[in-house]
Amino acid sequence: MSPVLNVRNLSVSYNGSRALDGVSLEVDAGQRVAVVGPNGAGKSTLFRAMVGLIPHQLGSIETHGTELGYITQRSAVDWSFPVTVHDVVMMGRVGKMGWLRWQRPIDREVVQRCLQEVGMAAYADRQIGELSGGQQQRVFIARALAQEAGILLMDEPFSGVDASAQETILEILSQLHEQGVTMLVSTHDLNLAVEWSDRLALLNGKLIAYGPPREVVTPERLAEAYGGQALWRGEDYAMVLGDIDCCGEGGHHHG
Amino acid sequence: MAELLDLLLEPLRYPFMVRGLLASFMVGTLCAVVGTYVVLRGMAFLGDALAHAILPGVAVAYLAEANLFWGALGMGLLTALGIGYIGRRGQIKEDTAIGVIFAASLALGVAILSLVDNYSVDLTHILFGNVLGVSDTDLWLTAGLGLVVFLAVVLLYKELLVVSFDPVLAATLRLPLGGLQYTLLILIALTIVVSLQTVGVALMVAMLVTPAATAYLLTRRLWHMMLVGALVGAVSTVAGLYLSFYVNVASGAAVVLICTAFFVLAFLFAPRRGAVWTWRKGRVGSST
């Protein structure tokens, strides 16, 4: 396996204070990476810096032979905006269309296929605000697929969706995994991260550990990451206490 | 039936009414289409400020006995770029910056105009429009610049849609966020300049916001919103002008009031989003 993504020594500062300090990650093609850490650990910052939404002061991000697709946090979207599901997924094609061009038949085919892949083709003409949280998440996955991004970055995809919607999203992710799509998912659910991922990145400002999940998650490292907020539960790995608000991190970036 | 037709045709015997109607129609559609972005991106205050900020330019052009249009154009573009620059620098909040520029420009404009003896009449025309004073030159300028704005909206449709809906995606697609923001500000400024004579500075924001907001309540896709908004804008401006012809009320005010009537209807009765709809749904929901 060759790496598709190399993050080397990435450092990001906001207003003089360091949000990320020397983070290095190497991700192989097709791997599922979970990024875990407490609130304010820099999970969103890491993703945003990787796609160039916020500048980084040090380090580099390299992708090999594919692009990054960023799936926006649900809380950052205006769901009353007059766009249909089809329109949203078509936005993923804008980069491929180029300036002053209209959508081509190929773009419509790709949109249709991506919607089918996430099981949302029947909802193509719905206004996006009419969907449930899980369905909205699936539409945004379809949009990243329409971008033809080989690496998906998902920032808290399970926040604010119910258990069955989470199950559906996980099924879609395992289909994508079979197709060889590389995925990075940030979550505050440590148990889910350990079960789901091939590699786990434990983050708190700096990268505390990165590797196979069952090797990374040790009581000492969890204590380091969560400052004693993690509750060790033997074979069940961990439950995180005091981590109720998962979406406050990073804030919104407009314009 | 024939009487109604007479009623509609009667004003057309006057060339100033024909010019006024043409200008109104163009301004009504253009304001609504550009206003779609004003509504969706929450730029109503900015639009209002931009409209008032052109006053010094108009005043200077007036004193220099040049066409007011060019003064408005210069000042409009300058203000759009200024607000865009301050917004991107981010030292103070954008609406604070707009508030400062807005009031300062208005004061400067009034100060310059007050140097003229009979300034109250002219100030009234600038503030509330003088659609019946539209000249042939004005009409051509409106048509030409309006077409430029309209073409830009069509050609940049998908880019402006993406930056408005999801700036994060726009950034990952490497779209020039700053450039598109400035472009939108310039398009709004041009629309305001074009509409100055028809609706005036004070009521401009109504033309930018009300038809688009009406359409927002009735539609679920961006280009549908633009079309319905344009229809509401065109019908309101033309109907307003007829109203002012027969009832002798100020034309700008008549236009805005008709627009507002459409908005109230949509607000109350729009399918799914209207107040009556949600109220009835709430009652049905509680009884089952």
* ipTM at complex level: 0.88
More confident residue, A74 or B42: B42
Q: Between chains, do A87 and B175 touch, taking CB under 8 Å as contact?
A: no
pLDDT class of A159 with cuts at 50, 70, 90: confident
A contacts of B221 (beta carbons < 8 Å): 82-84, 87, 127
In sequence order, what E strands does chain B have?
A: none
CB A95, CB A110: distance < 8 Å: no
- Mean pLDDT, rounded, of chain B: 89
Q: Between chains, do B216 and A82 touch, taking CB under 8 Å as contact?
A: yes
CB A71, CB A151: distance < 8 Å: no
A contacts of B173 (beta carbons < 8 Å): 94-95, 147
Percent of chain A residues past pLDDT 70, beyond the cut: 89
A vs B: CB pairs below 8 A? 77
Query: How many angstroms away from the CA of A207 is the closest CA of chain B?
Result: 24
Query: How many angstroms away from the CA of B113 is the closest CA of chain A?
Result: 37
Query: How many angstroms away from the CA of A51 is the closest CA of chain B?
Result: 6
d(CA A67, CA B245): 61
| The pLDDT of residue A228 | 61
Range of the domain at A38: 1-66+152-163+189-249
Chain A positions touching chain B (beta carbons under 8 Å): 51-53, 68-70, 72, 76-78, 81-84, 87-88, 90-92, 94-95, 97, 99-100, 102-103, 127, 143, 147, 253-255
Range name among A94-108, B78-92, B200-214, B228-242 with the lowest pLDDT average: B78-92
Range name among A59-68, A193-202, B84-93, B226-235 with the lowest pLDDT average: B84-93
B227 Cβ under 8 Å from any chain A Cβ: no
Q: Is the pLDDT of residue A15 over 50?
A: yes
Q: Is the pLDDT of residue B237 over 90?
A: yes
> Which residue, A137, A117, A118, A128, is CA-closest to A86?
A128
* Residue B85 CB neighbour total at 10 angstroms: 13
| The pLDDT of residue A247 | 41
Distance, CA of B28 to chain centre = 8
For testing the chain B interface, which of A44, A48, A53 should be mutated: the one with the most B CBs within 10 Å? A53
CATH number at residue A2: 3.40.50.300
Residue A168 lies in a domain: no
User: In which element (H, E) is residue A11 found?
Assistant: strand A3-14
Percent of chain A residues past pLDDT 90, beyond the cut: 62
Q: Between chains, do B168 and A253 touch, taking CB under 8 Å as contact?
A: yes
Give me the mean pLDDT over the A94-104 stretch: 91
Helices B177-218 and B15-40, interaxial angle, to 10°?
Answer: 110
pLDDT in tens, B81-137: 888 888 777 778 888 888 888 889 889 988 888 887 776 767 788 888 888 888 898
Residue A255 lies in a domain: no
Alpha-carbon distances, residue A132 vs A120, A126, A222, A224, B82 (angstroms): 12, 11, 34, 37, 41
Backbone phi and psi for residue B217, each to the nearest 5 degrees, phi listed first: -75, -20
Give me the mean pLDDT over the A180-208 stretch: 93
Q: How many domains does chain A have?
A: 1
Helices B119-128 and B94-113, interaxial angle, to 10°?
Answer: 150
Q: Between chains, do B166 and A72 touch, taking CB under 8 Å as contact?
A: yes
Give me the mean pLDDT over the B8-29 stretch: 93
Give me the mean pLDDT over the B131-159 stretch: 93
Residue A11 lies in a domain: yes
Q: Is the pLDDT of residue B18 over 80?
A: yes
Domain boundaries, chain B: 17-283
d(CA A255, CA B2): 55
Give me the mean pLDDT over the B220-227 stretch: 96
Burial annotation B39-48 (CB, 10 A radius, 16+ → b, else e): bbbebbebbb
Q: Which of A51, A77, A255 sits opposite B172 (nearest CB)?
A: A51
Q: Between chains, do A76 and B173 touch, taking CB under 8 Å as contact?
A: no
| The pLDDT of residue A229 | 55
pLDDT in tens, B156-211: 999 999 999 998 899 888 899 989 999 999 999 999 999 988 888 888 999 999 99
Residue A101 lies in a domain: no
Q: Considering Cα of A41, then A47, then A48, then A50, what sign does the dihedral take?
A: positive
Q: Is the pLDDT of residue A198 over 80?
A: yes
Q: Which of B181, B216, B221 sits opposite A255 (nearest CB)?
A: B181
Query: How many angstroms away from the CA of B80 is the closest CA of chain A?
Result: 15
Which numeric CATH code is attached to B17-283?
Answer: 1.10.3470.10
Residue A86 lies in a domain: no
d(CA B51, CA B48): 5
| The pLDDT of residue A65 | 84
Residue A179 lies in a domain: no
- Full-model pTM: 0.88
B contacts of A147 (beta carbons < 8 Å): 173
List the structure tokens of B111: 């100060």
Residue A217 lies in a domain: yes
Residue A44 lies in a domain: yes
